[in-house]
Amino acid sequence: MIDPCRTGSDSWWLAKLSESARCVERSGTVASRERARRAQERGVEVLPVMGSPREPLDPSVLEAVARAARDHVMPPAAGLPELRRALAVKLQRENGISADPESQILVTNGAKQALHVVLASLLEPGDEVAFPTPAYVFGGTIALVGGVSRPVPLCERDGYRWDPKRLERAITPHTKVLLLNTPANPTGFVAGPDDLRAVADVAQRHDLIVVVDEAYERLVYDGRSHTSLACLPEAADRTVTVFSLTKAHNLMGFRVGYVVGAAALIARATTLLEWMVLANNFLSQAAALAVLTGPQDWLVALKMRCEANRTRVSQALDGLEGLHAVWPGGGTAHFINVSGLGRDGEDLADRLLVEYGIPTAPGCVFGEADHLRLTAVGSRPHVVDELVKRLECAVGAMLAQRPRSPGERRH
C-alpha cells in the first residue's frame, strides 16, 4: 500500500530523480517567456515583441495542412520522403551542400531536438563541447547527454567575431565537438568564409567534429549572405549542420528542423528519435513541404521587415545613453550592454518588464551578466515604434536615478 505521507512529499521525489535531471537547470529563455506571461496575467501591458515573424500562413500552406489532416497518416521516423527530397533540393540550391535525402537528412521537431539527437549520438560521458559565448542555451542539452561545456568568451569590441586562437586554447584531450552558431544568437554575428575556414582548420588539427546551428540562415542583413560550413570541401566530412524552418519560414508553432550529416550519424540519430517519439508530427511536415515548394514572395517580404526592424531598434539603441549594442548582422536579437546604467541584466530585465512592459532575457542566460537580449525584429512595425518609446522612457528614468560621480553632468 502506498503511503501518501511518504511518497507525496517533494523531498521523497527529489531523492528519486536522476542526477542529470537534478543538475540541469530550466532553459533561461523559456523562464523569461514565462515571467512575461505571468506579468501579463497580473495586468502588465506587455508588448508583443517577437524575434521570429508570426504572420498568417500563405493559403498554399493552409491547404496543404488541411489535406494532411484528412490523410491522417504516420510519417517515417526520418521524416516524409517527399519533404527530405525537397530539403535536398533546397540544400543544393541555397547552401551548396549535396545530401542524399534517403540517408543524410533527418527531419526533427525543431532545431532543439536536432541538437539533442546529434549530441546524444556523438558524446560519451565526460566528452567536452567547446563553443563561443555569448551563446544560445546549449549547456542544458550538453549536460543531459553527459557532455561537458567548454564556453569560449568572445570580445564585444570585435563584434563577437569568432576567435580561432581562443577556441584552440580551450581545446583539451577530452574535447570532441566544436559547436558553432551562425548567424549567432544572441549576438547577431554572421560568419564569413574566412571565419569558417579558420575554425575548419582548428577542427582539422585537433580531429574534432563540428556541429553548426544555422537556424537563422535566411535572416541576414545589409547585403550579407549566409555561408554553410559544410559547403567547404575541407570541412564537409567532419561537419554536422542543424537547420530550422521555424524562423524565416514563419513556422514557429509547427516546430520543424532538420539535420544534415554523414549517413552513419544520421542513422544513429534517427534510431534515437524513434525511441523518443517514434516519428514527428505529420501536419507540421506537410506545412514545411508546402513552404519549401510553394510561393516564396511572402517569405521575402517577412525577411525585409525583419531587417527594417533590426535597423530601427539598432538606431534607437545607438541614441540611448548608458546602453550599447553591436548591430546584429543577422538573426532575431539585439544583445544590449547595460553596464552604463549601473545595473546587472537580471535586475534590469525585471524592471523593464514590470514597469514598462518590455520583455527581455537577462544576459547571464547567454554568458554575459551585464547584458540583455531583446528579440523584436519579427514584430509588427507599430510594436517596434512603441518599444522604442518605452525604452527611451525607461532609460531616461534610470539615468535620472543613477548615482553620479563628482562633476559628472546630466545630459
Dihedrals phi, psi of 334, to nearest 5 degrees: -115, 130
Which domains are assigned to the chain?
25-55+298-400 (3.90.1150.10), 59-293 (3.40.640.10)
Question: Is the per-residue pLDDT at 411 higher than 50?
Answer: no
Q: pLDDT-derived band of residue 4, with 50, 70 and 90 as boundaries?
A: low
Query: In sequence order, what are the beta bridge partners of 259?
Result: 106, 242
Q: pLDDT-derived band of residue 242, with 50, 70 and 90 as boundaries?
A: very high
Task: Give residue 357's region: left, alpha or beta (phi > 0; psi -120 to 50).
Answer: left
Pairwise pLDDT comparison (399 vs 403), residue with the higher score: 399
Tell me which residue has cell 541538437: 115
Q: pLDDT-derived band of residue 410, with 50, 70 and 90 as boundaries?
A: very low
Question: Is the per-residue pLDDT at 203 higher than 70?
Answer: yes
pLDDT at 30: 87
Q: Are 113 and 273 in contact (CB under 8 A)?
A: yes
Percent of the chain with pLDDT over 90: 81
Percent of the chain with pLDDT over 70: 96
pLDDT (mean) for 334-345 = 91
The mean of the pLDDT values for the chain is 92
pLDDT (mean) for 301-328 = 95
Least confident of 19-28, 104-113, 229-238: 19-28
Q: pLDDT-derived band of residue 405, with 50, 70 and 90 as boundaries?
A: low
Q: Are 183 and 216 in contact (CB under 8 A)?
A: yes
pLDDT (mean) for 133-162 = 95
pLDDT at 104: 98
Q: pLDDT-derived band of residue 229, with 50, 70 and 90 as boundaries?
A: very high
Q: Are 86 and 256 in contact (CB under 8 A)?
A: no
Radius of gyration, alpha carbons of the chain: 22
pLDDT at 147: 95
Q: pLDDT-derived band of residue 84, with 50, 70 and 90 as boundaries?
A: very high
Question: Is the per-residue pLDDT at 112 higher than 60?
Answer: yes
Query: In sequence order, what are the beta bridge partners of 330?
Result: 220
What is d(CA 361, CA 368) in angstroms, rounded to the nearest whole number?
11
Q: pLDDT-derived band of residue 3, with 50, 70 and 90 as boundaries?
A: low
Least confident of 6-20, 51-65, 316-330: 6-20
Question: Is the per-residue pLDDT at 186 higher than 60?
Answer: yes
Encode pLDDT of 265-304 as tens digits: 999 999 999 999 999 999 999 999 999 999 888 888 889 9
pLDDT (mean) for 338-363 = 92
pLDDT at 6: 55
Cα 74 from chain centre: 28
pLDDT at 164: 96
Q: Are 79 and 106 in contact (CB under 8 A)?
A: yes
What is d(CA 110, CA 255) in angstroms, rounded to the nearest whole number?
4
DSSP annotation of 321 reads T
